[in-house]
Amino acid sequence: MPNLYVMAKVKSKLGETQKAKNILTRLAENSEKESGCLSYQILFSGEDTDTFMTLEVWDSKESEQKHWQEPHLKETLKALEPILAEEPRIEKYQVTSD
């Protein structure tokens, strides 16, 4: 089964950047402990300091779907909600076969 690559763009409100960074860093640390998570990185924009990108690699769609049921993710989403400037944009990809 091919790996699933997930990218989520997260934009915090002005003045909430450090708080968002801390929350997202904890999210990455907790997510990497999950079965099926191969990598979970938080990237910071050099152009827009309020914008972050999560780059996730899961061993399957099923593992990524289970991730959404994790209590730590639900807590993270609740903590992020009041400090986000907009809804996160999530995109999912798999490597294509030749």
Tens of each residue's pLDDT in the chain, 98 residues: 789 999 999 999 999 999 999 999 999 999 999 999 999 999 998 888 999 999 999 999 999 999 999 999 999 999 999 999 999 999 999 988 75
- Per DSSP, the three-state class of 30 is helix
- Determine contact, residues 91/5, Cβ cutoff 8 Å: no
Q: What local confidence, expressed as pLDDT, does residue 98 receive?
A: 57
Q: Where are the domains of the chain?
A: 4-94
| Global model pTM greater than 0.85 | yes
- Alpha-carbon distance 8 to 53, whole Å? 5
Residues sharing a CB contact under 8 Å with residue 79, sequence separation 6 or more, in sequence order: 23
> Which top CATH class is 4-94?
alpha beta
Name the DSSP class of 84: B
Coil vs helix vs strand at 25: helix
